[in-house]
């Protein structure tokens, strides 16, 4: 992504409450805020425009992050229809200040955002299906630029559910790969802005450590990852079936080791330097 200057306006001075965001040299604008300020959020002039919106929260059944992406020719009226859904607690919507977003444009944006959310695999996507729309080549190019700006603003506004953990240049990534080895097994991963990413194909011990029963968090995490299909049994060990991001290097190492582990020591680069040594340079 290109560099950008972001202008955020905190309507009430509180970063968790109603706020607007714009990027330099961009015709778009976003409005975001908590469900508790719903009337004020959709009461703004921007809400009468066409655009796309995202509702984020937690699935009441599983407790996992949940996301709904929608499009509307009148955001105010469309978002009001979602008050019957209780999973969401945050809303973000995007409009064009020059009012040039057509129905086809916003359907294209909606489809792309749903596709990205599913690829990121960070949340349960509450949409029933991916609508999307075909656009002429020139319009498609314009909307891809619009999407890039949306992706830049969403994390700043507190919505990271569309961020793909592996989204880093391969050449740059390989230089930063770290390894965690135990009992002849090897896991590969790297630091990310949100924690630590263990890469697909990494190995983990099959049996949990007996000592882990005293502090069962790693056991619970390993069980969840098995239930979700992230970890599966392969011969005499477990294997990661996809990239998986953890909150810290220690959390990632604990899953690999089958019990508590110090990630700063467990993860090493190809030269054998621990993460602790690398960070102290």
Q: pTM for this one?
A: 0.75
**Position with higher pLDDT, 217 vs 211:** 217
In degrees and rounded to multiples of 5, residue 207 shows phi and psi of -100, 140
Residue closest to 184 by CA, chosen among 207, 210, 204: 204
DSSP, collapsed to helix, strand or coil, labels residue 146 as helix
**Position with higher pLDDT, 213 vs 130:** 213
Average pLDDT over residues 94-117: 92
Cα separation, 143 vs 157, in Å, equals 20
What confidence tens digit (pLDDT) does each residue in 131-173 have?
Answer: 678 899 999 999 999 999 999 999 999 998 888 765 544 444 5
Cα separation, 161 vs 142, in Å, equals 24
On whether the CB atoms of residues 179 and 188 are closer than 8 A, the answer is yes
Residue closest to 123 by CA, chosen among 58, 61, 60, 34: 58
What confidence tens digit (pLDDT) does each residue in 107-129 have?
Answer: 999 999 999 998 888 899 998 76
Cα separation, 242 vs 197, in Å, equals 10
């Amino acid at each position: 992504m290109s560099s950008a200057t972001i202008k955020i306006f905190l309507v009430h001075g509180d970063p968790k409450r109603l706020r607007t965001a714009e990027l330099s040299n961009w015709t778009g604008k976003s409005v975001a805020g908590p469900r508790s300020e719903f009337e004020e959020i959709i009461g703004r002039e921007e809400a009468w425009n066409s655009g796309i919106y995202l509702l984020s929260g937690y699935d009441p059944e599983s407790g996992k992050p949940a996301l709904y992406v929608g499009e509307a020719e009148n955001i105010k009226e469309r978002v009001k229809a979602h008050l019957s859904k209780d999973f969401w607690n945050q809303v973000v919507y995007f409009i064009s200040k020059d009012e040039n977003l057509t129905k086809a444009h916003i359907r294209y944006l909606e489809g792309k955002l749903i596709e990205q959310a599913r690829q990121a695999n960070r949340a349960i996507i509450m949409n029933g299906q991916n609508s999307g729309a075909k656009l002429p080549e020139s319009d498609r190019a314009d909307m891809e630029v619009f999407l890039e700006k949306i992706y830049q603003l969403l994390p700043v506004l507190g919505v990271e559910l569309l961020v793909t953990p592996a989204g880093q240049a391969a050449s740059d990534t390989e230089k930063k790969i770290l390894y965690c080895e135990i009992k002849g097994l090897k896991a590969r991963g790297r630091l990310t802005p949100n924690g630590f990413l263990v890469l697909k194909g990494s190995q983990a011990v099959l049996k949990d450590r007996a000592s882990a029963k005293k502090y069962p968090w790693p056991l619970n995490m390993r069980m969840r990852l098995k239930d979700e299909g992230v970890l599966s049994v392969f011969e005499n060990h477990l294997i990661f079936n996809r990239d998986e991001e953890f909150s810290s290097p220690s959390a990632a190492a604990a899953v690999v080791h089958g019990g508590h582990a110090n990630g700063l020591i467990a993860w090493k680069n190809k030269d054998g330097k621990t993460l602790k040594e690398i960070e102290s340079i």
